[in-house]
Amino acid sequence: MKVAFAGLGVMGYPMAGHLAKAGHEVTVFNRTGEKAKAWVETYGCRSAPSVADAARDAEVFLLCVGADDDVRQVVGEALPALPRGSVVVDHTTASAEVARELAADAERRGLSFVDAPVSGGQAGAESGQLTIMCGGDPAAYARIEPVVAPYTKAIRLMGGAGAGQLTKMCNQICIAGVVQGLAEALSFARHAGLDPMGVYEAISKGAAQSWQMDNRWKTMSEGKFDFGFAVDWMRKDLGLVLEEARRNGAKLDMTAMVDGFYAEVQKMGGRRWDTSSLVARLEPPKS
């Protein structure tokens, strides 16, 4: 299948690579041309000088960029160039509002739009083990499900346009709470004179177990925060969550509190630390 992929960041670069390795005819676009050149040298296929050029013959146009304005710009350039009947798949974590807006724009042009944010981080993108939550028309979803399969562990259609983004917001709410709980448990263990790794061994096979505990407890205890999803991006996501909650009336006391804690981490110089750095405001890393 002829596919295009825009946005070769830490997620998009390996995701587009999985598509190429699966045998699709992939055209990539990236604002930084050097990264697109490196991708072509690694995976073959071709890069395009513009979004419109990448989209021109694509049956499926995928993107994974930064935020709402980036999505609007890229999709706005792609829609006029795409052949009628093509599907746009947005893997960006963005607002449900922009998903609904662009789905309507696509429909007016005889195209389809599926919001399809992902969970699993850079490691999941590289290993092809991402979870994808989708919003859009069932027929469009059925078309894109086999296309994204090379980097998918689990995928589900959650409803109409925007439902994928709303589901990703639920994901981020859960992560915020779990990581804050781990940070406080780790700090408590130290203040109680317990060995942090001994605590992990004692509780990690019981009801407290989580992916975050298994993958971040040790590095949190060592003050290492150069893994996974950056604080700046988490604050962007939690901002979307809290804005949506103001619209729908959901009461998100914990999420708002943790968002404030991440703001403290940013002030500590941790903008690019990963999300497990919540522990740093309780137990600042030793210099």
Measure the CA–CA gap between 233 and 24, rounded to whole angstroms: 30
Structural contact between residues 28 and 36, judged by C-beta atoms closer than 8 angstroms: yes
Domain boundary among 160, 179, 200: 160
pLDDT at 284: 63
pLDDT at 228: 74
Measure the CA–CA gap between 139 and 124, rounded to whole angstroms: 27
- State whether 12 and 38 are in the same domain: yes
Distance linking the first and last C-alpha atoms of the chain: 52
Structural contact between residues 98 and 70, judged by C-beta atoms closer than 8 angstroms: no
pLDDT at 166: 98
- State whether 211 and 275 are in the same domain: yes
- State whether 69 and 116 are in the same domain: yes
- State whether 94 and 211 are in the same domain: no
Establish how many alpha carbons lie within 13 A of residue 261's alpha carbon, considering only the half-sphere containing its beta carbon: 21
Structural contact between residues 84 and 101, judged by C-beta atoms closer than 8 angstroms: no
* Enclosing domain of residue 256: 166-281
Q: What is the gyration radius of the CA atoms in the chain, in angstroms?
A: 20
Measure the CA–CA gap between 245 and 133, rounded to whole angstroms: 19
- State whether 89 and 230 are in the same domain: no
pLDDT at 285: 57
pLDDT at 227: 82
Candidate list 21, 37, 168, 286, residue with the active-site label: 168
Measure the CA–CA gap between 277 and 232, rounded to whole angstroms: 12
Nearest to 79 by CA among 168, 4, 12, 164: 4
- State whether 12 and 146 are in the same domain: yes
How far from 244 is each of 119, 232, 247, CA to CA, in Å? Answer: 19, 19, 5
Measure the CA–CA gap between 160 and 5, rounded to whole angstroms: 23
Domain boundary among 144, 160, 176: 160
The CATH number assigned to the domain holding 207 equals 1.10.1040.10
Domain assignment present for residue 287? The answer is no
- State whether 154 and 211 are in the same domain: no
User: What does each of the 287 residues of the chain score in pLDDT, given as a tens digit?
Assistant: 999 999 999 999 999 999 999 999 999 999 999 999 999 999 999 999 999 999 999 999 999 999 999 999 999 999 999 999 999 999 999 999 999 999 999 999 999 999 999 999 898 999 999 999 999 999 999 999 999 999 999 999 999 999 999 999 999 999 999 999 999 999 999 999 999 999 999 999 999 999 999 999 999 999 999 987 899 999 999 999 999 999 999 999 999 999 999 999 999 999 999 999 999 999 765 54
Query: Does residue 168 have an active-site annotation?
Result: yes
The domain total for the chain is 2
The CATH number assigned to the domain holding 62 equals 3.40.50.720
For the record, the structure tokens of 61 come out as 């146009």
pLDDT at 248: 96
